[in-house]
Amino acid sequence: MSDASLRLVWIYPDLLSTYGDQGNALVVERRARQRGLGVQRLDVRSDQPIPTSGDIYLIGGGEDRPQRLAAERLLRDGGLNRAVDNGAIVFSVCAGYQILGHEFVNDLGERSAGLGLLDVVSTRGEAERCVGDVLADMDENLRLPQLTGFENHQGVTHLGPSARPLARVRLGQGNGTGDGTEGAWNDTVFGTYMHGPVLARNPQIADLLIKLSLDVNALPPVDDRWYEALRQERIAAATQPV
């Protein structure tokens, strides 16, 4: 891999890619290419080994059974944990986010072990399923604009001391614990409940992942008028009284 190329790994598209989460891979790829970077994108199915030399790994959401299967296979494989040990960046959504934690409740009502890459534990929410638009203010350390997305999950995620909330919800449930937090992050590992796909609705997060992988503070600007129009439209729709 040359210095000017980015190795982007999309994990288990056959199990984890609900609500257009594939779009996250398209957006990272597109925004890297717009900055003149070469991109090598690897879509790794669940019967294939996870390469350990990737720069950015993306995992999407999924229904409860595929989520259990994905967690079992990722644990058995071990490649994603090795990649993170090597400094890789991971961005995960919903079921993928729950899998990165210590454990979650699976489709059989049992506790499944996660990868322990984020200090979070997910339980099954007793309240109504969290479904709908989300608006959230990003962790101020990330210095990014307000986040918009769409959530659909029964799981509720509790953060441990070494996980920081990715954002605080203004609208929607996020982690579902009632404390207003949404998602989690620690160093190079990120999790969110937002679909949408979240990187199409918030391309500044795709840029953050690219900057982290290149170890730079800024990227050349690109034309974001379309994204901004979409963002404003979603904010207006989400906050409109019904």
* Residue list, annotated binding site for substrate: 129
Q: Does 153 bind ligand GLN (CB under 6 A)?
A: yes
Secondary structure of residue 191 in the 3-state scheme: strand
> Least distance (Å) from ligand GLN to the CB of residue 61?
3
In whole angstroms, what is the distance from residue 152 CA to residue 73 CA? 24
Q: How many residues does the chain have?
A: 242
Residues 47-66 that bind ligand GLN (CB under 6 A): 61-64
- Tell me how far apart the alpha carbons of residues 20 and 171 are, in angstroms, rounded to a whole number: 21
Point out the annotated binding site.
129
**Nearer of residues 1 and 131 to ligand GLN, judged by Cβ:** 131
Binding mask 13-32 for ligand GLN (x = CB under 6 A): -----x--------------
Of 40, 123, 152, 186, the one binding ligand GLN (CB under 6 A) is 152
The footprint of ligand GLN on this chain (CB under 6 A) covers a number of residues equal to 12
Which residues, 6+ apart, have CB-to-CB distance to 240 below 8 Å?
A: none
Which C-beta is closer to ligand GLN: that of 123 or that of 186? 123
Is beta strand 155-159 parallel, antiparallel or unpaired with respect to 184-186? unpaired
Report the distance separating Cα 209 and Cα 134, nearest Å.
21
CA 99 to chain centre: 11
* Residues classed as catalytic: 94, 195
Interface residue with ligand GLN among 155, 172, 174, 197 (CB under 6 A) is 155
32 versus 94: smaller Cβ distance to ligand GLN? 94
Cis peptide leading into residue 66 (ω within 30°): no
Binds ligand GLN by CB under 6 A, chosen from 15, 88, 90, 95: 95
Question: Are 178 and 157 spatial neighbours (Cβ–Cβ below 8 Å)?
Answer: no
Name the residues that contact ligand GLN, by CB under 6 A: 18, 61-64, 67, 94-95, 152-155
